Structure 1
Amino acid sequence: MCALVVTGTGLTGCSSEDPDAGTNGVGKLSAAKIQSRTRTAAESAKMVRLSGTVVTNGRTYTLDMRLKGDGGTGSVTSQGATFRLLRVGEHLFLKADAEFWSHQDGKGDDGGSDAAAADKLEGMYVKVPTGDPAYKRFSGFTDKNVLLDGLLTLHGALATDGHHEQGGTRTIRITGDKGSGGSLDVSLEGKPYPLRLVRAADAGTLSLTDWGQDFSLAEPSKKETVDYGQQLPAS
């Protein structure tokens, strides 16, 4: 907006405020360069918190994950069931209630042995074998590099879409195909981290926060862990 400036002689005309004043300067760059800068910033950060929704293969997942180079931890909700994931190095653990485990075969709880197994697993960290289908399905949610590489891609022609704000932080927004290919809000303060992603084709919206903020990551104790060996029950 143009503001009138009043001096001792009266109105002297208009002055405009630079929206990029005091920022990291990426708002002045092309959309392609902004995307490159934000990818570099994201890849170089050691930690991030990622929360929101991801739609993949027709299923919606609600995530709240803290990620770092050697693993991650947090919660995932899908089809009304919530479970926790913990990965330290190659070791992946899944923690859920009895109802979650009793329905993993897709047939529901048939009583007897299924109920007994589910009760045994409730509240425990179940070690997921690397060769189990569940490992491939869930480990990606704990992998910072895999998630960011897949999520920070906009589709179609890139363009900037004005200055915005996310959580009190000024941002520049870039879009793919005028928004139909997704949009990404990039911080104008400090490093140009991505702060909010709207994925193409209504495939979810994610917030990326706590960049560089460390958190503890350790395997659960043996008392908290169940190891089924080569394959989870009803995988």
Structure 2
Amino acid sequence: MTALPPGPAAPARRAALPVALCAALTAALAGCGEDPDAGTNGVGKLEATAIEKKAKTAADAAVAVRVAGTLVSKGGTYKLNMRLKKTGGVGSVTSKNSTFELLRVGEALYLKADAGFWVHADSDGGDGGAEPGEEDRAAAEKLDDKYVKVPQDDPAYKQLRGFTDMNVLLDGLLGLHGKLSKGDRSTIGGVRTIKIMGGGGNGGTLAVSLEGTPYPLQLDRAGDAGVLTLGDWGQDFPLEAPAKEETVDYGRQLPRDSP
């Protein structure tokens, strides 16, 4: 009996096998999705406690930062926009219905506000908010848009200085409360971040950069105590005392109702 030559179907079946494998492999790879840590600094792979440690280390080593947002502290609500570095800070604070500027160079602290701020502060002496008199208005006009040096023995000095102290402000802000856990990934200002949470979020939430240095970029404080963004990390800025003609000596302690 003469053997029949192989039919055309056999090569087709042999060729179908690698094609099927390739198709299955492609489907499997597509099912895995993209690596969320591809192109990042790698902190997203770490445990929450390690991420927090890296964020604090990065913040401690930075020469400067901008802190902006809302801070609720000791019954008061403040809107901050401060640029800070180790030797001082400059920026604005809004408290109640007043906005004022702060400037600290070394231990010298200055406050600048408009006449309306000083009229209110001078005239409210605890008697229910008496209307300002001519003397109060005249004194306020002299302080309008001038830097007033805050005496270091003034009770307001320590509180106001805290807004300009990079170490004090960051140490007080960056601590989360409760057991740490990892949260969602998000984007802040175009930068990819990973969130870490204290107490499931009840103890605050901190978003840490997944790009470059793992700086903390946003803090949602525990107990609805404010939301702050932290940026311009490591970007130095000029800081110098105001000119003499821009400065007025208040001559005594600041009014009790000033921030």
TM over 0.5: yes
Per-residue deviation, 1:113: 2.0
Structure 1: unaligned runs, 5 residues or longer = 1-5
Show the counterpart of 2:107.
90
SS of the equivalent of 1:75 reads strand
Show the counterpart of 1:160.
182
| RMSD, aligned CA | 1.7
CA distance in 2, matches of 1:218, 1:198: 32
Instruction: Give the % identical residues.
Output: 60
Q: C-alpha offsets along residues 73-96 of structure 1, whole Å, 9 cap, x if unaligned?
A: 000001121110000000000000
Contact 2:120–2:132 under 8 Å retained in 1: no
Show the counterpart of 1:232.
254
CA distance in 2, matches of 1:124, 1:40: 38
Per-residue deviation, 1:53: 0.4
Structure 2: unaligned runs, 5 residues or longer = 1-19
Question: Does 1:127 pair with 2:145?
Answer: no
Pick the aligned partner of 1:12 from 27, 35, 40.
27
Counterpart code for 1:42: A
Q: Higher helix proportion, which one?
A: 2
Show the counterpart of 1:35.
52
Pick the aligned partner of 1:113 from 135, 140, 143.
135
Q: 1:209 to 1:120 in 2, by over 3 A?
A: same
Q: What are the equivalent positions in structure 2 for 1:1-235 lying under 5 Å apart?
A: 9=23, 12-13=27-28, 14-105=31-122, 106=124, 107=129, 109-233=131-255
SS of the equivalent of 1:214 reads coil
Structure number with bigger Rg: 2
SS of the equivalent of 1:171 reads strand
Q: 1:102 to 1:30 in 2, by over 3 A?
A: same
SS of the equivalent of 1:195 reads strand
Instruction: Report the TM-score, using the length of structure 2 for normalisation.
Output: 0.84
SS of the equivalent of 2:27 reads strand
Contact 1:82–1:96 under 8 Å retained in 2: yes
The runs of at least 4 consecutive aligned structure 1 residues that moved more than 6 Å come to: none
Q: C-alpha offsets along residues 156-197 of structure 1, whole Å, 9 cap, x if unaligned?
A: 111000211111100010001111111000001011100000
Q: 1:7 to 1:108 in 2, by over 3 A?
A: farther
SS of the equivalent of 1:35 reads helix
Matched positions, count: 230
Instruction: Report the TM-score, using the length of structure 1 for normalisation.
Output: 0.93
